[in-house]
Each structure stands twice: as C-alpha cells, then as structure tokens.
C-alpha cells in the first residue's frame, strides 16, 4: 500500500489514526483522555495545526504553549519522547517516506520548543554569570 502524501487529505487521515494510538497508550492515554472533553473537535483543531505548520494553510488559530502548560503537573520531558516515538511509527506506516521524514523533523522541533517553554527556567538573578574569585 502506498503511503499518503503531505496534503490536507493525508493529514485528515494521519491525525486521527495517530491520536487513536495516543489515547490507547498506557502512559499518554490517561493524560490526553483526561485533558480533552471533545475528541472530534480536538482532532479537527490538531488537523488544522498540522495543516498550518506543514502546508502553511493558516487554519490553526490556537496557542499550543498555554494549552500544554496548563497540564504541566502531569507531563514530563520523557513523555515527549514517547509521543515522538508513536508519531514516528505512525507516520512511517501511513505516509510517503519523504512526508514521514518531514513530519517527524517538524514534530521534533515543536516538541523541543514546548519542552523549553514548559520546563526550562533561567536561573535567578546573579547566578547566570560565572563569579570570579577575588585575589586568585
């Protein structure tokens, strides 16, 4: 079976297939299922997101960082790697090879940005510089 192309039609099949796996995942499923009340609406939003980032359609109008930060107490950096692993598996299975590579690269950059936004904190004032020892 030939993989799907990087198109709105392809994304409309990929996103629900991927999130069906996320929802069934032992670690990711409980977090996503507790966070999302309306899966059909959320899948539409996620499809719009991927259409916007991959096809520059401009369909997505949300804010991904606040949407994830509000669930920070349940999310660890390691869960991003689990999500990316499922994404790689699903895109490899469903998409044309070139499309899968592009989707995986974009997802890795987005995950890195979200992790930085959620978990990275600048040190308090004064500790961001190396202090020299006087008289040495």
Interval 76-133: pLDDT, tens = 888 889 999 999 999 999 999 999 999 999 999 999 988 888 787 666 665 444 444 4
Confidence of residue 2 (pLDDT cuts 50, 70, 90): low
Q: What is the pTM of this model?
A: 0.81
Mean pLDDT along residues 6-17: 95
Distance of CA 112 to the CA centre of its chain: 9
Mean pLDDT along residues 57-79: 78
- pLDDT, residue 3, reads 87
Q: What's the pLDDT tens digit per position in 50-59?
A: 999 999 888 8
Q: Which residue has the tokens 């994830």?
A: 68
82 vs 102: CA distance, rounded Å? 18
Residue 6 or residue 63, greater confidence? 6
- pLDDT, residue 125, reads 60
6 vs 115: CA distance, rounded Å? 26
Beta strands in 91-135 (DSSP E): none
Name the residue among 3, 2, 1 with its Cα closest to residue 95: 3
134 vs 31: CA distance, rounded Å? 51
Structural domains of the chain, with CATH:
8-119 (1.10.490.10)
Mean of the per-residue pLDDT values of the chain: 85
21 vs 64: CA distance, rounded Å? 20
Structure tokens at 32: 């996503």
Would you say 71 and 31 are in contact if contact means Cβ atoms under 8 Å apart?
A: yes
């Amino acid at each position: 079976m030939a993989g799907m192309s990087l198109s709105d039609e392809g994304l409309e099949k990929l996103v629900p297939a991927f999130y069906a796996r996320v929802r069934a995942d032992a670690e990711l499923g409980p977090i996503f299922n507790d966070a999302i009340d309306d899966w059909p609406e959320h899948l539409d939003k996620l499809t719009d997101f991927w259409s916007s980032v991959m096809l520059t359609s401009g369909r997505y109008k949300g804010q991904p960082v606040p949407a994830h930060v509000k669930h920070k107490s349940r999310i660890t950096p390691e869960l991003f790697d689990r999500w990316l692993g499922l994404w790689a598996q699903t895109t490899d299975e469903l998409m044309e090879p070139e499309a899968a590579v592009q989707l995986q690269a974009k997802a890795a950059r987005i995950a890195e940005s979200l992790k930085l936004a959620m978990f990275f904190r600048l040190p308090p004032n004064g500790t961001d510089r190396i202090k020299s020892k006087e008289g040495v």
